[in-house]
Structure formats: structure tokens, C-alpha cells
Amino acid sequence: MIRIFDIRERPDLQKAAVDYFWQRWGSDSNRNFYRDCIERSCDTQCDVPRFYLALEDDQIIGAYALLRSDLNSRQDLFPWFACLFVEPEHRGKRIGALLQDHAIDQARQKGYERLYLCTDLTHYYEKTNWSYIGKGYSISDDETRIYEYKVEVPSDDTYSDGK
């Protein structure tokens, strides 16, 4: 059974989470960056950043993050779905879609109406209802694709006017 959780719920796996995200997305020179990001996400009362792990039989098989910013040139967009990774031996089992659904649900619970991501992939996110909204640029001037997901936030009907 696959379980997805915020690493704040499993402080015993914080070091493993740092290593996991860093080894999949980082470089030799930025482990402290990932450590600091994840440690701070566990200390803040803000609803983002958050880092999530997918476990199967206590093995990490995937992960993602919800961030304030994943593309510095687009500070106007918030929050970001980032760092999606599924272990190669677990791909093709819809785990990526499961992690995306979890992120969308987390965004919904936090009251966000939109979620964004940037990627150089084409045709992957379109399959799960993300909409391409244009190009963006990294700090090194690399071009990337920006996608948006419109989160259906339930209306608060607890205040009925009797109509």
C-alpha cells in the first residue's frame, strides 16, 4: 500500500528526505540548500513550503513539494508543484498521477485556486489536466514551460441566506 505524507509527520525520515530530494534534483554543491529548505519547512507555521514522500513498505518510491516559488522570474504565480519524482522501477503504475492528485488536494485544503509547475516535459502534464500557459526563464536564462491547474475549491455554503 502506498502512503503519502508530509515529512513533518515523520521527523524520523527528515534526513532521508533531504538526501532523497537532493540526490534526485540537486548537484554536488547544493546539499545544504535542500537540507535548509526541508528543515525550514518543518519549522514554519506557513502552509508552504511542504515536502511530501510516497512510501511503499517503508521504502521511498516517490516525492513532490509545494513551494512558494519554483521559477524566480514568475514571482506572481503561487504556489508551485515541484520536485515530482517516481523511482524508475515504479513508473507506469500511475504513482505520478497519485502524487499530483495528492498535491491538488493539499492545495484545495489550503484554499488555493490554482497550482503551477514548470518543466521541460511535453505531453506528460496535459494528460492529468494541467494547462500550458506559456514560457518562463530560469536565472540561467534557460527556457521552461509553465503549467497551471485550476483547483476546485469547495464553496463555503455554511452561510446560507435562505434563498
Where in the chain are the domains? 2-150
| Interval 83-97: pLDDT, tens | 999 999 999 999 999
Helix (H) or strand (E) holding 96: helix 95-109
Measured CA to CA, the distance from residue 31 to residue 112 in angstroms comes to: 30
Measured CA to CA, the distance from residue 134 to residue 144 in angstroms comes to: 9
In the chain, the percentage of residues whose pLDDT exceeds 90 is 89
Over residues 100-106, mean pLDDT: 98
SS (H, E, C) 3-70: EEEEHHHCHHHHHHHHHHHHHHHCCCCCHHHHHHHHHHHHHCCCCCCEEEEEEECCEEEEEEEEECCC
- Is 162's pLDDT higher than 50? no
pLDDT for 51: 98
Banded model confidence at residue 160, pLDDT cuts 50, 70, 90: very low
Measured CA to CA, the distance from residue 103 to residue 94 in angstroms comes to: 14
Helix (H) or strand (E) holding 148: strand 143-150
pLDDT for 157: 54
pLDDT for 161: 45
pLDDT for 156: 61
| Interval 15-67: pLDDT, tens | 999 999 999 999 999 999 999 999 999 999 999 999 999 999 999 999 999 99
CA atoms within 13 A of residue 92's CA, in its CB half-sphere: 2
Q: For the domain 2-150, what is the CATH superfamily, name and number?
A: Gcn5-related N-acetyltransferase (GNAT) (3.40.630.30)
